Amino acid sequence: MSEPTIRSPIASGSNPWHRFFRGVLDRLTIGMSMGGVIMMFGILLLIFAVLLNGAWMAIGHIGWKFFTTSTWNPVPGMDKYGVLAFAYGTAVTTLIALLLAVPLSIGCAVFITRIAPQWLAGPVSFLVELLAAIPSVVYGLWGAFVMSPWLQTHFEMWMWKALRNIKWIPVGHYPGHRTEYFPANLVHGGPSGSDFLAGGLILTIMILPIITAITRDVLQQFPEELEQGAYGLGATWWQTTRLALTYCRVGIFGAAVLGMARAIGETMAVVMVIGNTDRISSSLFAGGQTMAGVFVNEFLEADHPIYLSAMMYVALTLLVSALLTNLAARVLLNRIAPA
């Protein structure tokens, strides 16, 4: 017998074709991932470019006044466009939604992960995810035909009766009215059911599932050792839960940001309940409009050039403010991240 041939351990056992394909696959996967990233940037840039191009005429004609005025008059010849009222509507409804949805979602997630017995946690979890799958137009119709009348006759009526005569802090006045006071101003005008509050509430319901689902997932990541550690020191259930929430704060914050993004961008459901007027009011019972809302309402029938361009300007404003809020959230996130 001749002396045994020694094959390189690297080469052994792999036929050249396999090696070739493996290399191709690697490169293909890397290429595709990079392609995806480039495409995403490309699409974002493209959207930005298209909106900027479309809005160019309005930017030239309206300029900065777009951000400082709140009249929206698209009648040909009258043409006055200001985004302020819509920006205000977006901000107020999103704020209401976050203020209500974040604590509620955390409660829900804590219930699912830390309170409910196994047989209940599963179905509740499923239900929450089901809520996320309901199309927004369904929420809108439900909001308009069920929630809004109920709000008007019950909740808002109750709130109105409770707050209308409480006058703590003077906050200026509505045109043509006496001085308004906080918190009585919040219910100025009386219950209507189609207002900022309704818009905020429908958004609350819509962003609840996503914040709950993510918070639940991050809470499940809370390490068993830390849980045991806290209990071992004599912590109560609530103290341990607080520790878990602190531990998961970055994830929960991220969930809230996602919820916020959805709230800012939501169209149909809000449009069905917010009352659709271009006015700014400190009353929660006043009708309003959001940036996304005016877009879905009027874009299709924007029938003359400056009107269409102003719509594009609204879209551009929406895009930029969404980017800015996300950026701000990112900065904040880095600050609360554990050392």
Partner 1 sequence: MILADTSTDISQKAHGAGTHGLSGTVPVTTSATAARQAVEVQNLEVFYGQHRAVHNVNLKINHREVTAFIGPSGCGKSTILRCFNRMNDLVKHCRVQGTVKIHGADIYARGTDVMELRKRTGMVFQKPNPFPKSIHENVAYPLRIHGVRGKAVIAEKVERSLRLAGLWDEVKDRLHASALSLSGGQQQRLCIARAIAVDPDVLLMDEPCSALDPIATKTIESLINELSKTITIVVVTHNMHQAVRVAHQTAFFYMGNLVETGPTDKIFHNPVQHQTLAYVTGQFG
Partner 2 sequence: MFKAFHKFLMVAAPAALLAIGTVGTSRAVEISGAGSTFVAPIMYKWIKIFQKSHPNIKVDYEAIGSGGGINGLIGKTINFCGSDAYMSNAQIQQAGGAVLHMPEVAGPEVMSYNLPMVHKQLVMNGKLIADIYLGEVTRWNDPAIKKLNPGVKLPDLPILVAHRSDGSGTTFIFTGYLCKVSPTWKKQVGQSTSVNWPVGRGGKGNPGVAALIEKTRGGLGYLEYAYAITGHFPVARLINKDGYAIQPSMPSVIAAQKAVVENLPADLRLHIINPSGKKAYPISGFTYLIIDRDLGYMSKAKAKATLEFIHWILTKGQKYAKTMQYIRLGPAMQKKVLAQLAKATWKGQHLSY
The answer to whether the peptide bond before residue 183 is cis (omega within 30 degrees of 0) is yes
- When the beta carbons of 140 and 209 are compared against partner 2, the nearer one is 140
Contact status: 94 vs partner 2 (CB under 8 A): no
Rank residues 106 and 312 by Cβ distance to partner 2 and give the closer one: 312
Place of tokens 């906080």: 182
Q: How far is CA 260 from CA 213, 239, 281, 282, in A?
A: 15, 28, 22, 21
Which member of 40, 228, 327, 336 binds partner 1 (CB under 8 A)? 228
Q: Quickly count helices (H) and strands (E) in the chain.
A: 14, 4
Side chain identity at residue 40, one-letter code: M
Q: Which of 176, 232, 300, 301 binds partner 1 (CB under 8 A)?
A: 232
Q: Three-state SS for 108?
A: helix
Residue 212 touching partner 2 (CB under 8 A) = no
Closest to partner 2 by CB, 70 or 282: 70
- State the nearest-atom distance from the C-beta of 70 to partner 2, in Å: 11
| Binding at 235: pick from partner 2, partner 1, none (beta carbon under 5-8 Å per type) | partner 1
**Site for partner 1 (CB under 8 A): which residue of 236, 304, 327, 332?**
236
Q: Does 283 bind partner 2 (CB under 8 A)?
A: no
Which amino acid type is present at position 174? Y
Of positions 73, 179, 220, 221, contacts partner 2 by CB under 8 A: 73
Query: Among residues 175 and 338, whose Cβ is nearest to partner 1?
Result: 338
Phi, then psi, of 179 in degrees rounded to 5: -60, 140
H helix runs in 63-135, sequence order: 65-68, 84-110, 118-133
Stretch that binds partner 2, among 107-115, 137-145, 216-224, 255-263 (CB under 8 A): 137-145
Report the 10 Å Cβ neighbour count for 40. Answer: 10
Quick one: which of 15, 133, 165, 225 contacts partner 1 (CB under 8 A)? Answer: 225
List, in sequence order, the alpha helices (H) in 176-248: 196-220, 224-232, 237-247
**Which residues are registered as beta bridge partners of 17?**
none
Provide the sign of the torsion angle of the four alpha carbons 244, 248, 249, 255, taken in this order: negative
Under the criterion CB under 8 A, does residue 80 sit at the interface with partner 2?
yes
Six-digit token pair at 260?
């916020």
Residue 277 touches which of partner 2, partner 1, none (Cβ within 5-8 Å per kind): partner 2
| Residue 73 bridge partners (DSSP) | 80
Residue window 144-173: x/- pattern of binding to partner 2, with contact defined by CB under 8 A: xx--xx--x---------------------
Per rule CB under 8 A, is residue 234 in the interface with partner 1?
Answer: yes
Q: How far apart are CA 316 and CA 54, in angstroms?
A: 9
Beta bridge partners of 169: 182
Residue 230 sits in the site that holds partner 1 (CB under 8 A): yes
Would you tell me which residues interact with partner 1 (CB under 8 A)? 223, 225-226, 228-236, 239, 243, 247, 338-339
Would you tell me which residues interact with partner 2 (CB under 8 A)? 25, 71-78, 80, 140-141, 144-145, 148-149, 152, 192-194, 268, 271-272, 275-278, 287, 289, 293, 296-304
